[in-house]
Structure 1
Amino acid sequence: MKLVICAYHNVGYRCIEELLRQGAEISLIFTHEDSPTEQIWFSSVRELAEANKIPYLTSSINEPENIQRVRQIAPDFLLSFYYRNMIKPELLELPDKGALNLHGSYLPKYRGRVPVNWAVINGETETGATLHYMVAKPDAGDIVDQEKVGIAFTDTAHDVFGKVNEAAVTVLRRAWPRLVDGNAGRIPMDLAAGSYFGGRKPEDGRIDWTKSAVEIYNLIRGVTHPYPGAFTKLSGKKLIVWSARPLAGSGTPGQVVSLNPLCIGTGNGLLELHRVQFDGGQETEATACLFTESDRFA
């Protein structure tokens, strides 16, 4: 079996490791150059390829010369593990046995971008990993296998990503022998029963204090380290909130209700701030900052 793999991030790294463990022959890997504006907290697919002497490219698989490379390889499978580019339909038609993607949600829920962050932000109690065939529409092809993971109320997106990473390896470990033997099942995806979400930008982390304390808390844990963080403003100065917890109580949205602990009013309940960071400053305990009870966040 000849494989062409598109991969990035920890899911890409671990899934390639699993395929190598099972003796797969990888002809070529497409991955990405790390962005200088992104915190790189995950394992390097490029370094894994180098360590195993597997040819790799960081240019897009969709470039004409790369489409031709894939055509010349004539792979049995084209596999995508957290690759960040949509793969053109003409590439999906090249592998003899199919093109499959490993997605970080329990499809059809959370199709699209950053599914782990969205699941946490929306207060879900479970998500998962799904191996499915690729079609022109994103995350919409027949499902081969999937695994659920739980989301605890205290989990951050980073915590959940670790669980999804392990679920992805579990799914691939089960499914790969069946795919090779040609007896893997295919379950049509019911898109009407699911959901689709787009990517997120740092600006999307702005706190809306008219929302409930629980909703704001979910946003904070959904975009905290290693992501850019949820933020608010005080007298025009940006303040990142890295950790907090929701409490019962009431207060004007955005208004400081108490200083120790530092509690802020929301649309429903109070939010106790724990770790914060003013723009250009150092992360610190919220109670160490010189807030006053007249302060109001916006």
Structure 2
Amino acid sequence: MKDYKIVVIGAVKSTERILNGLLRNNINVVGVLGLDRSVSRKVSGYVDLGALCQVENVPYKSFININDDENIKWVRNLKPDYMFAVGFSQLLKHDILAIPQFGTIGFHPTKLPKGRGRAPLAWLTYNAEDGAASFFLMTDGADSGDIFVQEPFTVDKDDHAFHVEEKILSAIDKGLDKWLPLFKDGRTKPVPQCDEQASYTGIRREIDGLIDWEEPGDMTYARIRAASKPHPGAYTFANGRKLLIWEAAMIDRCNFWGAPGRVLEDVADGYLVQAGDKVLKLLQMEYFDNPKETVSLKVGQLLGYRPQQEIHKMYQEINALKKKIEELKK
């Protein structure tokens, strides 16, 4: 049996789940580097790994820039055989990647080589595409290294990002419990990926959650599902305030029809809203500036802005200001 020394680097729920899986399988975790809370604001699903390390008596160090000399020295002193680097956006430079004797293991929740790249949780949800908890040897390419294990999971057409995240975490548990006993015995050999079958996904930003009620309803529904927690949320505007929409449902059969963005009906568990050619039920919402305030919409209310109307209002206001200025000059 191999007593590999492992260092874990990361910052999110999947990192925490992997660390728990390593400890559950009696893997020798000699140190953990976790992203410092002070720079975590824009990290979706951030987890402070320090608390778990304290409970499990695992050496822990927080970082702001993973490639700083002090972090490299800290890892080098631990003399790891492998590193697990999971769930943070900083690129590991060669100086730190070269430290572990046998390499650095990465994680990606898609059926590699498909879906390499950025924002995999959002894109799997948006496309309602099945994924896999994939562990692989990191290389210079994006998610392109040889694969140790893939544990598949399904994504349904109505799943939101928070549903898919739970499926990913469950697949991590299953994949690690299958693979790590073999890993400890030195009986696992990674399998090369087929680059010819590779596909890639791009980065997503908060603005990608902005709802255009004129677009096809299926796209709006996908946008809401993909931007849901742990992401910043899909959003529109109501009464001049930013309104986050965390959960919605597609209404397949509806006897209401209206203009895009109009609130059609106030129902027991939400609001029916016309979204392009479809009707959506908005189930969970909150105001961006006051999440604790109860969201109250009115039937017939128009959500979002209409650019031409808003431009015309601005034009009128500018003209009114010009007239006042001219009057003051007299």
Q: Which residue of 1 aligns with 2:308?
A: none
Report the Cα offset of residue 234 of structure 1.
4.3
* TM-score, scaled relative to structure 2: 0.78
Matched, 1:253 2:257: no
Residues 111-169 of structure 1, C-alpha deviations (whole Å, 9 max, x = no match): 23331122112232x11210000011221111111011112233221121111112112
Name the CA distance, whole Å, in 2 between partners of 1:52 and 1:278.
Answer: 39
Change (3 A) 1:22 1:241: closer
* TM-score, scaled relative to structure 1: 0.85
Contact 2:243 2:287 in 1 (8 A): yes
Name the CA distance, whole Å, in 2 between partners of 1:193 and 1:268.
Answer: 35
Task: Map 1:1-298 to 2 at 5 A.
Answer: 1-34=4-37, 35=39, 37=41, 44-59=48-63, 60-124=65-129, 126-234=130-238, 236-248=240-252, 251-254=258-261, 256=262, 258-261=264-267, 262-282=271-291, 288-292=296-300, 295=302, 297-298=304-305
Name the CA distance, whole Å, in 1 between partners of 2:95 and 2:291.
Answer: 49
Change (3 A) 1:42 1:185: same
Residues 26-75 of structure 1, C-alpha deviations (whole Å, 9 max, x = no match): 22211112356369866542111111222111114311232233333332
Change (3 A) 1:96 1:38: closer
Task: Give the alignment's Cα RMSD to 1 decimal.
Answer: 2.8
User: How many residues end up aligned between the 2 structures?
Assistant: 294
Identity of aligned residues (%): 27
SS class of match (1:165): helix
Name the CA distance, whole Å, in 2 between partners of 1:47 and 1:148.
Answer: 30
Moved more, 213-222 or 61-70: 61-70
Name the CA distance, whole Å, in 1 between partners of 2:266 and 2:30.
Answer: 59
Contact 2:44 2:232 in 1 (8 A): no
Name the CA distance, whole Å, in 2 between partners of 1:279 and 1:100.
Answer: 38
Change (3 A) 1:68 1:264: same
List alignment gaps of at least 5 residues for structure 2.
Answer: 306-330
Name the CA distance, whole Å, in 2 between partners of 1:46 and 1:168.
Answer: 21
Larger Rg: 2
Residues 168-211 of structure 1, C-alpha deviations (whole Å, 9 max, x = no match): 12222222233333332222223442332344332221012233
Moved more, 61-70 or 24-33: 61-70
SS class of match (1:109): coil
List alignment gaps of at least 5 residues for structure 1.
Answer: none
Contact 1:129 1:171 in 2 (8 A): yes
